Structure formats: C-alpha cells, structure tokens
Amino acid sequence: MRQFLLAVIAAVALAAQADVYVTPVATARIGGRVYVTATVLKNNGSEAVKCNFVHAISSNPKDETLHGSYELAPGRVLLDEATLRRAGAVGTIRFDCSGPLLIAARIRSSIDGGKTFDSSRVFRSAGVRNTVRASASEER
C-alpha cells in the first residue's frame, strides 16, 4: 500500500490548475474481467478542502448520476480503495473542490474473479487544461 501511495503522489506532482478535477473509474465485471478502482486525494494546502463528486451513468436513459463527497484536513491523504464498487461504475468522476488537491485513480483488472490482479495503471486527475494520461506502475 505504501508503494501505491508513493507512486500516486509522484504521478500527481503537478495538480490541475482549476479546482475541478476528472479521473477515470472502472469498477465492474465486464466480459469475464473484474475491474477495480482506487482513488487517492491529497491536501497539500493549509486549509480543509471539501470535494463533491459525481459519476454520470451513461447507459441510464434518465441521465441519473451517483453523488458523494470527501473532506480532507490540511496535510491529509485519503485513500478510497473501493471507489464506486457497489455501483459498478465505468467512465469518469468529476470532483468539484473548494480548494486545490492532488487526485489520482489506480485501475487494476483480474481474469480470475478478483483473486489476483495485474499490474495497474495510475491516472492523475485532469483539470480544464489537462488531458487524462496513464502512467505505468510497478511491473508489467
């Protein structure tokens, strides 16, 4: 777990310019594979930051969304190892935050029902001016 946090913090060394962030999420069973997403948020600032997040359910004809929130005290790191696991979410999550944060998502997949997982991909959050990019993590 410590390696994951260090990798994520290194991958998100440059925060997005705006206080709106977007990360990918894949937490579902698709075609015999299991995907899980862990999200990490870090507050390097001197004030608490509250983030409301939303995931649009793209296949829902009523355009429904999943909502939630996080609050981080100054200098704190929050690791959500089961991001939207109960909902089976695939797509992106938009975070609207009251201040700057470092946010990243780690997506892993399994072909044996979740008993073992492959090497993961770490995605730093994207802001208005940034695109979502993956960085290789651990071993491939």
DSSP H or E stretch at residue 108: strand 102-110
Q: Any idea what DSSP says for residue 137?
A: -
C-alpha torsion angle, residues 95, 101, 105, 106 (rounded to 10): -160
Query: Residue ranges of the domains in the chain?
Result: 2-130
Q: What share of the chain in percent tops pLDDT 70?
A: 71
- Residue 81 pLDDT level (bands cut at 50, 70, 90): confident
Q: Higher model confidence: residue 22 or residue 1?
A: 22
Residues with Cβ within 8 Å of residue 110, at least 6 apart in sequence: 33, 34, 35, 36, 116, 117, 118
What does the pLDDT read at residue 136?
52
Could you tell me the fold of the domain covering 2-130? Answer: Hypothetical Protein Tm1070; Chain: A (2.60.290)
- Across 7-11, 40-44, 69-73, least confident range: 7-11
> Residues 82-140: pLDDT tens digits?
777 777 788 888 899 999 999 999 999 999 988 899 888 898 887 755 444 545 544 43
